[in-house]
């Protein structure tokens, strides 16, 4: 990443935010425990975000992928740019999407399907990792269905396991920014990846031990998430919020970059097939409960999200106006 002059770096700053009055504990869920089902549902309802341990993903897959990612991002820019610009997959640098969003980040966006082509150093490595992480994501979705007494129990997970599942995998690198160090003392923050929700069903995040991830709390304040390279963080996606008719919450989150330390994160976004109709599950609706959302296909919602800014309320145009 090249150094930037002061006027150029200003576009990456975000104003300091007020600290939350009460800093809640991020739900920590042990997937090996029988009671995890109850805790998973509560975390999805209250937070839309939680951390899992005893997740069953082999550390050798995690370490190998991170090692190759670090090597790739350490390559000369001319080498990395051979894999870009993203259309929609490939290497990107600072520009996020096509609607003017920028961040202090470089990234690889990859197709999560097994037969996909990747940069040579990632061949095989990505498949091993994604297969393991998808298995964990499906287990979580099935535990949620069990606790909510939904039948069949694969009502959510089958969408990720479908051969036409539109899932993606992203590797982000937030390099140190020496020009920013003088601003950190004043509380200013450097945007690595701007505030947004994830449009898919479920997101599975793992990062190295550099901080940066923040989630938005209900009072509008931002809470820093302590890093933990041994665990995974799970986000409820917009599509899961719709399928549960708002019972589960898709949490707004962002990444702020670090003046001195490099952050590497790896995210699996579990999405449904493009033709899948997304709507509240009839088996969840109670009594005369109204649907909060218009039915849409994943293709329609993905297209809408792709044409929006990161911080836009992407579900807004799909919400029903319920007469009171």
| Cα distance between the two ends of the chain | 53
How far CA 272 is from CA of 129, 155, 162, 238, 276, in Å, comes to: 19, 11, 8, 12, 6
What is the Cα–Cα distance from 107 to 263, expressed in whole angstroms? 11
Cβ burial of 103 (10 Å; 0-12, 13-18, 19+) is buried
| Active centre residues (catalytic) | 263
- Provide the 10 A C-beta neighbour count for residue 290: 11
Rounded to an integer, what distance in angstroms lies between the CA atom of residue 15 and that of residue 104?
Answer: 15
| Phi, psi dihedral angles at 263 (to 5 degrees) | -120, 130
225 token code pair: 């998430």
Please, what sign has the CA dihedral across residues 236, 241, 243, 245?
Answer: positive
Secondary structure percentages of the chain, helix, strand, coil, to 5: 30, 25, 45
Show the DSSP H helices in the chain as ranges: 6-9, 36-46, 59-73, 77-80, 125-147, 157-161, 181-184, 238-243, 298-306
Q: Which residue has the tokens 């640098």?
A: 93
Closest by CA position to 197, among listed 314, 24, 300 = 314
Rounded Cα gap, residues 6 and 12, in angstroms: 10
Sheet holding 13-14, edge to edge: 13-14, 189-196, 253-256, 213-216, 222-224
């Amino acid at each position: 990443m090249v150094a930037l002059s002061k006027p150029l770096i200003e576009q990456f700053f975000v104003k300091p935010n007020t600290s939350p009055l009460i800093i809640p504990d991020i739900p920590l869920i042990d997937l090996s425990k029988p009671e995890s089902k109850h805790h998973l549902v509560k975390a999805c309802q209250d937070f839309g975000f939680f951390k899992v341990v005893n997740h069953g993903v082999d550390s050798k897959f995690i370490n190998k992928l991170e090692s190759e990612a670090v090597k790739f991002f350490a390559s000369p820019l001319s080498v990395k740019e051979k894999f870009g610009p993203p259309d929609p997959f490939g290497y990107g640098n600072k520009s996020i999407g096509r609607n003017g969003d920028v961040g202090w980040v470089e990234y690889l966006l990859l197709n999560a399907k097994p037969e996909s082509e990747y940069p040579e150093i990632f061949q095989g490595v990505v498949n091993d990792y994604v297969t393991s992480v998808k298995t964990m994501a499906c287990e979580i979705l099935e535990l949620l269905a069990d606790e909510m007494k939904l039948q069949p129990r694969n009502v959510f997970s089958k969408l990720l396991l479908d051969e036409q599942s539109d899932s993606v995998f992203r590797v982000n690198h937030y390099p140190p920014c020496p020009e920013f160090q003088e601003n950190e003392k004043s509380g200013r923050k450097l945007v690595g990846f701007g505030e947004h929700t994830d449009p898919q069903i479920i997101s599975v995040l793992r990062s190295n031990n550099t901080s940066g991830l923040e989630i938005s709390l209900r009072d509008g304040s931002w809470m820093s998430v302590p890093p933990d390279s041994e665990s995974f963080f799970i986000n409820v996606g917009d599509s899961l919020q719709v399928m549960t008719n708002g019972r589960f919450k898709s949490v707004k989150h962002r990444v702020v970059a670090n003046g001195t330390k490099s952050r590497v994160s790896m995210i699996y976004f579990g999405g449904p097939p493009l033709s899948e109709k997304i709507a509240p599950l009839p088996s969840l609706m109670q009594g005369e409960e109204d649907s909060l959302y218009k039915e849409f296909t994943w293709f329609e919602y993905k297209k809408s999200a792709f044409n929006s800014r990161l911080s836009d309320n992407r579900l807004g145009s799909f919400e029903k106006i319920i007469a009171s």
